[in-house]
Amino acid sequence: MRLILLGGPGAGKGTQAAKLKEHYGIPHISTGEVLREARAAGTELGKKAAEYMDAGKLLPDNIILGIVSDKMDMPDMKNGFLFDGFPRTIPQAKGLDKILQEKGQALDSVVSIDVNDGIVIDRLLKRSEIEGRADDNRETIENRLKVYYEQTEPLKDYYKGCGLLKSIDGVGTVDEIFERIKAVLS
Ligand code: AMP
């Protein structure tokens, strides 16, 4: 199973990705998580990432594609994977197509978790209280939503054009949403 989870900030991608990883037994790659780890470790990548993340901006496509390309070379990625938070721009999607083509692989599905903005802002402000993520303050959240609509939402049309897009309603309990995702994948 080769999957992409699409959705704006706070759509529940991370929560669902953890369940899908377990259910399908595939590795889960979150580019946001990779960047947070680099940041915590104080690496050069982490220092650069911090500036973009705190402003709610996307990192340059070449940096992200470099990270993904390295991950795709790992042996456990051979039989399937789940990306969450990647791709986020059309050039990233095209870059992924190229990486997969070179490996003779293809995506199975792209699942878009759709949630409206009001719900997302409330969810993210709550998450900031629980997890203390630096980019979950109101100003950064609003920026991340703007960036999502400008740069990431066009991916839905891109993947619709490839016949891969499956959209689900992201409002409900964690289990309800998980059932919806499994249903569109089966
Ligand atoms: P996330 O955990 O997916 O919400 O990502 C947190 C932040 O990391 C984003 O707001 C971006 O600054 C950065 N980031 C994560 N994934 C990407 C990506 N695929 N392209 C560019 N920036 C990213």
Protein residue with least CA distance to atom 1, ligand 1: 32
Helix residue ranges, H only, the chain: 13-24, 31-41, 44-55, 61-72, 90-103, 117-131, 138-147, 154-161, 174-185
Provide the domain limits for residue 114.
2-185
CA-closest candidate to residue 119, choices 56, 176, 169, 65? 169
Ligand 1 centroid, distance to 146 Cα (angstroms)? 13
User: Where in the sequence numbering do the catalytic residues fall?
Assistant: 13, 88, 127, 133, 144
Total tally of structural domains belonging to the chain: 1
The token pair that represents 158 in the structure block: 């891109």
Residue 13 CB less than 6 A away from ligand 1: no
For residue 40, what pLDDT is reported? 96
- Answer yes or no: are the C-beta atoms of 49 and 135 closer than 8 Å: no
Ligand 1 centroid, distance to 39 Cα (angstroms)? 12
For residue 29, what pLDDT is reported? 95
> Residue 158: which residues within 8 A CB-CB, separation 6 or more?
90, 93
Q: What is the CATH number of the domain that holds 14?
A: 3.40.50.300
Distance CA 140, CA 37 (A): 20
Residue 53 CB less than 6 A away from ligand 1: yes
For residue 168, what pLDDT is reported? 97
Residue 85 CB less than 6 A away from ligand 1: yes
For residue 130, what pLDDT is reported? 87
For residue 19, what pLDDT is reported? 97
For residue 128, what pLDDT is reported? 83
- Answer yes or no: are the C-beta atoms of 12 and 111 closer than 8 Å: no
* Segments of the chain scoring below 70 in pLDDT: none
Q: What predicted TM-score, i.e. pTM, was given to this entire model?
A: 0.93
For residue 121, what pLDDT is reported? 87
For residue 138, what pLDDT is reported? 85
Q: Residue holding tokens 């897009």?
A: 165
